[in-house]
Chain A
Amino acid sequence: MFGYYLDLAFRGLRRNRMLTALMVLAIALGIGASMTTLTVLHVLSGDPLPGRSASIYYPQVDPQDISKYVPGAEPPEQVAWIDGMNLLNAKRATRQALMTGGMVPLQPTQSSIDPFRAMALFTTKDFFPMFGLPFKYGNAWGDAEDAGKAHIVVISSDLNDKLFGGKNSVGGTLRLQGADFRIIGVLGDWHPNPHFYDPYMGNYASDEDIFVPLTTSRATHMGHEGSVDCWGNGNGGPEDLERSQCVWLQFWVQLDDAASVSEYQAFLVHYSEEQHALGRFTRAPNVRLRSMMQWLAFQKVVPSDARLQTWLALGFLVVCLINTVGLMLAKFMRRANELGVRRALGASRRALFAQLLIEAGTIGFAGGALGLLLSLFGLWCVRQQPAEYAPLAHMDTPMLLATFALAIGASLVAGVLPAWRACHIPPALQLKAN
């Protein structure tokens, strides 16, 4: 029966080519626009560390002074040096890392490459195992290097390709800000999106090229970049950040099960009370412990432009669908004669309804195919845009399937009303008119 209805549907579509073309075009435009923006949104709101993100948490404590205190207000989004170091050394989580970003002048030994500014992350040893960074050559550093402010560096595979032609450069030297650093590791491919651990360097920015121990970066006065929020009269200069009343570091922990999460939450409260007793904290304990995905949602990393565009495109799809409903109504009502004859010959309403819906689905499929081409073109246009997330805009298999699902689903929804109207025409009336 399905095959027969499909055959009827194709005949029906051929009968009035102009209406069919208009419907397919309307659905294709709507689907093309929505799938372009939905794909961008899908890429942007993805999980940066699949399989791992559930056990990564972002603790916050509130070291600010009592002025402007509002009970229950959000604690600062970063931690101060003292709190970061205390929490790091407490080692209450499976793994923990403290970090901040910066730009470091890199003076290559090769004369063919001009000195340039490399994006850097200053962090502690657990950063690599906690986020699961793959190593192509060498390995990460350990406690001794963190404590000893060692002049060592881990570099990205991109930088290794650029400076060393992709060869194993472990043991080689990198000149950063006028000092020599020994390369101890070269990363494999690692491009988490969003760039979750340091949103201040751009949410979808290209990744860091060099990783240096945090203690070393402070000792060698590497420039820290990102947000610094201070309170009271504690503003020190950039050299004085360790002692200032400012938050400027990100602290991440790995907690493997629910019990250790609640334990860590209690530890944060306990830590705040302890600091309060010492006189450093003046506010009542005010802590947060969000998981990575909660933190990303809270930070609204998905650019508002991308969300606005998605809403616009979905609104456009609705207009296109209303349009299709109208056109389908016209198309089905024009076939009243034929439907009347079929009814008179004994076809049930349900059979007519099914046949008309299959015709609507066929239109949806055609619209989806054309819409897919349009959204591929749309994504190409997005990639030409200057936004930092632009290069990520690519269609993947789930979104490809979603395109057809959305197109066929939308056209079926659009077809319900016209089909219902068409199969309720009294057959006698149509037969009489002829």
Chain B
Amino acid sequence: MQIRPILAALRHHRLATLLIALEIALACAVLCNACFLIANRIGNMRIVSGVDENSLALVVVTGFEDTQGPDVNARIIAGLHGIAGVQSVSVINTVPFGQQVDSAGINKDRAGQIQGGQIDFYQGGPGTVQALGMKLVEGVWPQAADYLPLHDYFADDSSTVISKALAAHLWPGADPLGKEFWCDRFHFRVIGVVDHLAIAQPGSRGTNTAEWSAFVPTMPGRFLNGTYLVRADPSDIPRIVRDAPAVIAKVAPDVVFDHANSNTVSDLRHNYFERDRAMVGMLLGVILALMLVTALGIVGLASFWVQQRRRQIGIRRAVGATRGDILRYFLTENFLIVTGGILLGIVFALALNLVLVTQYEVPRLPLYYLPVAAVVLWTLGQLAVLAPALRAAAVPPVVATRTV
């Protein structure tokens, strides 16, 4: 196929060529960045929480004084144990995808000079680690003596089990076991490391901090009450959550059942990512609409060109060009225009990404998106131009002999 005559013809249609190329360029920029945003959101939604989500539920009650805490704990634990299928009930402050409860900045020294970043603390009573089903990769689980009552926020000296991600952040390359950190005046010593433990609201403080969390064994009572972790077989869990309000109304009639925060952990996860799903849907809609409009634009202009050049096509056919030649001419012409658009689009895509990086805390666009987008746009262009090109190929040579 000779490219020179095509370029010569395009020079006569500079404006229309430029418009299609510009449209392809903008489509390329939006396509790359929208796909990248979708990939980011889906990455967030895939986070490993580190707990047995399908076997766990959270029950939250409020409306009592802290001094009544021990009594409320005892009644509700007994009540929830009475529901058929419940394997264990323990007191906890929150779970991944639940409310953020104890989140604070920590220091790597007692004086508070070396900061360790903001982490989430999970506080749970005896039985919590077994119920959560976290996977220990180093060290030991807390023993009975490690569960201490709280002073306001924490016990003065606690043992803690932290996530592998937090250990790698605080002491890169070093053995985290036996290491210490401080939060205000409270002191923590690491006795174990689990492979995963997401913070309560993963992604809310950036993607790299999504697993900066520590489990602190705590004795339930005045300062740890009202939130209960229920473990049961996954098939029993939805029924248990349904039955819990009635049971609690019986054993503790004065407390307020928190319907918004009591749910199975898998449902909490589902609800937590609802906005991300909506955003992914919106971005997919934009991509589809954009591809549609771009394709329609190509169809419209290509049809116009074909009609405008009917005589010339007829002449070419009359002097020996085959249908295949005419078809290839229009396909190649489209390929050239789209290629020009993609080259411009790569610049646009990188510029748009730069804006997103500065404005919306989006990471840099990986470069492999660009060739993928190019292939998609080439395919789109060829498909869009196919119908007009076939119509052009169908022009009979006899047209050359007619005046109009």
* Chain A residues with a Cβ under 8 A of chain B: 18-19, 22, 25-26, 29-30, 33, 103, 105-107, 114-117, 177-178, 221, 223, 233, 235-238, 240, 304-305, 308-309, 312-313, 315-316, 318-320, 322-323, 325-327, 329-331, 333-334, 385-387, 417, 421, 434
Contact = CB atoms under 8 A, between A and B. Distances in A.
B296 A323 contact: yes
Contact of B30 (A116, A117, A319): A319
A315 B296 contact: no
B184 interface: yes
A325 B19 contact: yes
Given A177-B63, A319-B293, A326 B301 contact: yes
A216 to B, nearest CB: 16
Nearest to A387: B275
Interface residues of B, number: 54
Nearest to A421: B15
Interface string B381-404: 000000000000000000000001
Interface string B14-55: 011001101100110110001001000000000000000000
Nearest to B356: A308
A233 to B, nearest CB: 7
Q: Which 7 pairs show the lowest CB-CB distances between chains A and B?
A: A105-B63, A330-B304, A237-B152, A323-B297, A386-B274, A326-B19, A105-B256
Contacts of B308: 333-334
Which of B256, B292, B294 counts the most A-chain CB atoms under 10 A from its CB?
A: B256
A330 B301 contact: yes
Contacts, number: 139
A317 B275 CA distance: 24
Interface in B56-103: 62-65
A236 B258 contact: no
Interface in B243-280: 245, 249, 254-259, 271, 274-275, 278-279
Contact of B286 (A313, A417, A421): A313
A22 B22 CA distance: 18
A333 B307 CA distance: 12
B286 A322 contact: no
B380 to A, nearest CB: 13
5 contacts: A237-B152, A319-B26, A322-B19, A386-B278, A434-B404
Contacts of A329: 15-16, 19, 301
A313 B20 CA distance: 19
A29 B62 contact: no
Given A105-B63, A334-B307, A327 B256 contact: no
A223 B63 CA distance: 10
A316 B286 contact: yes
Nearest to B27: A319
A223 B27 CA distance: 51
B153 interface: yes
Contact of A386 (B26, B254, B275, B292): B275
Contacts of B304: 19, 330-331, 333-334
A396 B292 CA distance: 29
A109 to B, nearest CB: 13
Given A115-B257, A386-B274, A386-B278, A326 B286 contact: no
Contacts of A238: 152
Given A236-B152, A316-B286, A329-B15, A323 B278 contact: no
A316 B30 contact: yes
Contact of B257 (A114, A318, A323, A386): A114
Contacts of B300: 18-19, 22, 323, 326-327, 330
Given A309-B282, A334-B308, A107 B63 contact: yes
Nearest to B261: A117
Contact of A385 (B62, B185, B278): B278
A19 B297 CA distance: 10
B297 A117 contact: no
Given A319-B290, A330-B16, A305 B275 contact: yes
Contacts of B152: 235-238, 240
A25 B300 CA distance: 12
Nearest to B348: A315
A421 B275 CA distance: 47
B215 to A, nearest CB: 21
A217 to B, nearest CB: 14
B293 A105 contact: no
Nearest to B104: A235
Contacts of B292: 29
Contact of A316 (B289, B297, B307): B289
Nearest to A305: B279
B354 interface: no
A268 B303 CA distance: 71
A233 B182 CA distance: 12
A178 B254 contact: yes
A107 B27 CA distance: 57
A117 B301 contact: no
Contacts of B23: 319, 322-323, 326
B6 interface: no
A41 to B, nearest CB: 14
Contacts of A177: 63
A400 to B, nearest CB: 22
Nearest to A308: B360
Contacts of A326: 16, 19-20, 23, 297, 300-301
A387 B279 CA distance: 10
B185 A233 contact: yes
Contacts of B307: 334
